């Protein structure tokens, strides 16, 4: 084995191991997100795969070596894709991806053992990687209405990696059934240039995307009331100022409804704080129902709430307030479920 290839493989073993640890720590310490665990296991499998590539001389039977390496690659690919599907709650892919991977592996067995074809055997994994990377990029971009910059960067890195794998598959097919030596050398050189670079590049962007997710989650917790799930006073100030500024720029109307729960202290004193918490959640749910996307609903004090209605004049706001009073009056809270 040439020294350059040897050092590349050694670096990939340690890189994959480090990525497995990073994603495991992310899973353990930041909410135990399933997708972080899927990625941790994927890179652990990748560590084993690169280690086997590093010690390919241990295998006397090249067919066994090829099938083990490609099988591990399929497990890694499947777990990576599954992680992105878990993160984005995507309906683009089926719940169980293993049958697809199993079908690809059966194809590998066929062109490795039954009807050997070097070109197809070496092309199957790059083709699979190409397809799933495009799917992952699509899932990331479609995850939310307005993707964050890091999500766009991650998707673009995946598309670039997918294109490189498509080129690798084309080079592999040029080897033909018997593995024409000149094309085999071309494919090998390209493989060890493009695959590690793409592997590391996309992994780094996924780590940054995971960090961005954590940042957004922490930001959301900072402006959300944990009991009701509505904006808290800080969130009301932040979002309300933005709505007011937008209304001024557009010379449009904006109304605010202030509401509280009458005799809330009596509820706490007579029925206990658990009942008071239930009353707050019940009231928050009622005033949040049927609100428009642009409306802002917040809990700004103990039992005090506010609703910001962009583009709503005073008469319409009063009608909404009257309707909310009727809704609350017609929706008594069930105390039987309060502990």
Q: What is the pLDDT of residues 197-221, one digit of tens each?
A: 999 999 999 999 999 998 888 887 7
Q: What is the pLDDT of residue 253?
A: 93
Average pLDDT of every residue of the chain = 90
What's the whole-model pTM score? 0.78
Q: What is the pLDDT of residues 50-66, one digit of tens each?
A: 999 988 888 889 899 99
Could you give the CA distance from residue 122 to residue 225 in angstroms, rounded to a whole number?
54
Q: What is the pLDDT of residues 172-198, one digit of tens each?
A: 999 999 989 998 889 988 988 899 999
Q: What is the pLDDT of residues 265-319, one digit of tens each?
A: 888 888 888 888 898 999 999 989 888 889 999 999 889 999 999 999 999 999 9
Edge-to-edge strand order for the sheet containing 304-310?
Answer: 254-260, 304-310, 296-299
Record the tokens describing residue 104, joined without a space.
């690809």
Own/partner pairs for 276-283, CB < 8 Å, 24+ apart? 277/227, 278/333, 278/335, 278/337, 278/338, 279/333, 280/227, 280/228, 281/227, 281/228, 282/331, 282/333, 283/328
The helix or strand, by DSSP H or E, that contains position 135, with its residue range, turns out to be: helix 118-142
Helix, strand or coil, per DSSP, at residue 275:
helix
Q: What is the DSSP secondary structure assignment for residue 41, as one 8-state letter? A: H
Could you give the CA distance from residue 43 to residue 35 in angstroms, rounded to a whole number?
12
Among 9-13, 14-18, 287-291, the least confident range: 287-291
Give the whole-number percent of the chain exceeding pLDDT 90. 63
Q: What is the pLDDT of residue 336?
A: 63
């Amino acid at each position: 084995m040439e020294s350059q290839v040897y050092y590349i493989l050694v670096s990939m073993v340690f890189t994959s191991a480090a990525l497995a640890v990073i994603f495991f720590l992310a899973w353990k310490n930041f909410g135990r997100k399933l997708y972080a665990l899927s990625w941790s296991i994927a890179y652990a499998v990748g560590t084993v795969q690169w280690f086997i590539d590093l010690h390919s001389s241990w295998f006397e039977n090249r067919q066994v070596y090829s099938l083990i390496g490609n099988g591990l690659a399929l497990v890694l690919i499947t777990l990576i894709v599954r992680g992105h599907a878990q993160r984005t709650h995507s309906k683009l892919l089926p719940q169980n991806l293993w049958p697809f991977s199993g079908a690809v592996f059966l194809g590998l067995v066929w062109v490795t053992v039954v009807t050997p074809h070097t070109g197809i055997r070496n092309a199957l994994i790059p083709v699979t990687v190409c397809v799933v990377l495009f799917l992952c990029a699509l899932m990331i971009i479609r995850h939310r209405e307005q993707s964050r910059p890091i999500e766009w960067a991650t998707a673009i890195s995946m598309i670039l990696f997918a294109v490189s794998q498509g080129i690798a598959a084309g080079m592999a097919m040029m080897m033909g059934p018997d593995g024409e030596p000149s094309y085999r050398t071309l494919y090998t050189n390209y493989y060890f240039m493009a695959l590690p670079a793409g592997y590391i590049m996309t992994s780094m962007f996924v780590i940054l995307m995971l960090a961005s997710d954590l940042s957004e989650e922490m930001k959301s917790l900072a402006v959300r009331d944990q009991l009701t799930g509505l904006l808290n006073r800080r969130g009301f100030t932040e979002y309300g100022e933005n709505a007011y500024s937008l209304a001024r720029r557009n010379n449009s109307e904006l109304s605010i409804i202030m509401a509280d729960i009458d005799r809330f202290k009596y509820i706490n004193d007579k029925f206990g704080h658990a009942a008071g918490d239930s009353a707050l959640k019940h009231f928050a749910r009622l005033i949040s129902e049927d609100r428009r996307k642009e409306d802002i609903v917040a809990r700004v004090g103990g039992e005090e709430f506010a609703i910001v209605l962009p583009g709503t004049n005073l008469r319409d706001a009063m009608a909404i307030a009257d309707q909310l009073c009727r809704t609350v009056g017609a929706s008594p809270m069930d105390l039987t479920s309060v502990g």
